[in-house]
Structure 1
């Protein structure tokens, strides 16, 4: 039985999708960068050595639409950097799946991952190894450009998050080879690592130019808000990518499989349970942002500028989640190709109607 045979409850998304006006410029340069990195081959003629996608596969992923939906407030330069990172993350994912997960070659996966660690240097100007494949070329290029001066504080944390992301791929492969399904309790924090979700707050900061004020950054409320933010991203992805991961890649690292195994329930019960869990984490995010964060702001005595910056960051985080939701529920990477749907995504969808009020209004000064 597949997920498509199960009657699903709806994934909840209270925040409207907003498009970034710089999307047309993004499309014009994204293919050029992917080709320069060696990720892209022509649909006709001999493929480039170790290319990850054909041109048609690349465009079917609509990564440009993903970036424009998740970062609607980003300027052109910030949008371009985030877009290249999204391309690289998907390139790593597809390369790792094709080269190691489908072959079960764990020793080669360990060697590949060890080499990637050498590119994650936190020090500005650090000497990097010579790249030998498209994934290494992509991360080496990003390391040169991804950390503007105003976000230099993120360099070490961001690279630590990337190191956890690539290490999680090896652990996922080991789990699948050994038939070890992760335990439900341990899975959510592991999924934050294997989805690179720890990099998402950086993307929101880069796009909005706003930070969570240091005075409250390590509070219980903000930690809980960030955990829920990251959980929604990765766990919702598990539902969207179930068919590809479980049936094509034989992967056991998926929320639906984890819930079914941990609770001893069949697929037709595990899938709705997974959807309800994702919706519960989104309600946690909304409750913390809408109810508890404004009270924390009052108690902490944040000044007008800090409140404005926090409101801008939260608005960006809400936009990030709604953009991911739109991509999961409509992009050809996750939905069987329909020419009309594919064309709509290629051109870009307009804004969706407003939903329930978000926490942003409550935090505005």
Structure 2
């Protein structure tokens, strides 16, 4: 069965999409930074820098749209910063796939990744190496700007999440070279790393300005909520990117392939099972907000200000998921070459903030 014969499911998303009012401003400048970093082909004379994308490839990603959908409440400054972080993550992904996955160069991938770790220091103020490519150049730029005083508490956690993201790429390549499809239970945790999902709470905080109250941050209910939040992202992406990863990149690290192999079912059955699993994780996220988090909040005796911050963060998390869902459904990056990706597109009409997420109070 070819990928074009597989019916791709339309995933459930209960949270309406809202659009950041600074989308047009972001769109006007979206090429500038990518060109400065050497990620985007300048279209001019040949350069010693190796560009990652052509202009058509760059616009097909619609990263400005993704960022504006996922972070509807961010200021222009915060939206711009997160947009560049998103661009960097995709630049790493596409560069790694082109330079190492398509060639099977595991030794080169390991050397590239080891060097990139030097651009993710655990402590602020560390001296970085001189960048030699667009991926290193982009991360060196971001390290100077990702941690303003109000976000300084993220220095170790975010760089650790980014380190897990790039390390997962090496493991994905090793799996593909060996023809080793990950075990289903192993894959759930691994996908959070390989999707850079551990960076998403940072993006939500950056967008909303709201911190998760320390009294509940490490509670069982909130940790489970974060797991469900992250699982939806990566697993839904596996459905959207099935053609790109499995047929174009010959990757075995995809939920559909994992389910097909683990359960010994057809690709179409595995696609349906993947959609069911993604929906189950989203329903669990909703259940935790509605039923399990409120008692935790009560026991922690959060004050009014802390409850307001938690509500703002949760609304931001819901927007983040709806923005990703809309991007998967609409970005040309995920569309089959011979037709639209899905039968239905997600509306981008603005909706009232209060309608987007269930209260945890």
Q: TM-score range by the shorter chain?
A: over 0.9
Tell me, what secondary structure is at the counterpart of 1:145? Answer: coil
Residue 183 of structure 1, CA deviation: 0.1
Match of 2:188 in 1: 188
Q: Residues 164 and 156 from structure 1, CA distance in 2 versus in 1: closer, same or farther, beyond 3 angstroms?
A: same
Match of 1:160 in 2: 160
Contact 2:212 2:309 survives alignment (8 Å): yes
Q: Which runs of 4+ in 1 moved over 4 A?
A: 337-341, 352-359
Match of 1:141 in 2: 141
Within a 5 Å distance, the mapping from 1:256-271 to structure 2 comes to: 256-271=256-271
Tell me, what secondary structure is at the counterpart of 2:333? Answer: coil
Of residues 322, 347, 350, the one that matches 2:348 is: 350
Q: TM-score, normalised by structure 2?
A: 0.94
Residue 28 of structure 1, CA deviation: 1.9
How far apart, in 1, do the equivalents of 2:3 and 2:233 lie?
19
Match of 1:318 in 2: 318
How far apart, in 1, do the equivalents of 2:66 and 2:48 lie?
26
How far apart, in 1, do the equivalents of 2:51 and 2:8 lie?
36
Match of 1:290 in 2: 290
Q: Residues 187 and 354 from structure 1, CA distance in 2 versus in 1: closer, same or farther, beyond 3 angstroms?
A: farther
Tell me, what secondary structure is at the counterpart of 1:210? Answer: coil
* Matched pairs, number: 358
Residue 129 of structure 1, CA deviation: 0.1
How far apart, in 2, do the equivalents of 1:312 and 1:352 lie?
18
How far apart, in 2, do the equivalents of 1:251 and 1:61 lie?
20
Contact 1:40 1:48 survives alignment (8 Å): no
Tell me, what secondary structure is at the counterpart of 2:128? Answer: coil
Tell me, what secondary structure is at the counterpart of 2:58? Answer: helix
Match of 1:106 in 2: 106
Contact 1:312 1:360 survives alignment (8 Å): no
Q: Deviations over 1:145-167 (max 9, x none)?
A: 01111111110000000000000
Q: Residues 340 and 184 from structure 1, CA distance in 2 versus in 1: closer, same or farther, beyond 3 angstroms?
A: closer
Residue 264 of structure 1, CA deviation: 0.8
Q: Residues 340 and 2 from structure 1, CA distance in 2 versus in 1: closer, same or farther, beyond 3 angstroms?
A: closer
Match of 1:242 in 2: 242
Residue 2 of structure 1, CA deviation: 3.4
CA-atom RMSD, angstroms? Answer: 2.2
Match of 2:49 in 1: 49
How far apart, in 1, do the equivalents of 2:249 and 2:8 lie?
23
Q: Residues 340 and 287 from structure 1, CA distance in 2 versus in 1: closer, same or farther, beyond 3 angstroms?
A: closer
Match of 1:7 in 2: 7
Residue 349 of structure 1, CA deviation: 6.3
Where in structure 1 are there 5+ consecutive unaligned residues? none
Match of 1:329 in 2: 329
Where in structure 2 are there 5+ consecutive unaligned residues? none
How far apart, in 2, do the equivalents of 1:276 and 1:41 lie?
40
Q: TM-score, normalised by structure 1?
A: 0.93
Contact 1:39 1:134 survives alignment (8 Å): yes
Q: Residues 340 and 247 from structure 1, CA distance in 2 versus in 1: closer, same or farther, beyond 3 angstroms?
A: closer
Residue 49 of structure 1, CA deviation: 3.0
Match of 2:71 in 1: 71
Contact 1:60 1:333 survives alignment (8 Å): yes
Q: Residues 65 and 338 from structure 1, CA distance in 2 versus in 1: closer, same or farther, beyond 3 angstroms?
A: farther
Residue 355 of structure 1, CA deviation: 12
How far apart, in 1, do the equivalents of 2:233 and 2:69 lie?
14
Tell me, what secondary structure is at the counterpart of 2:69? Answer: helix
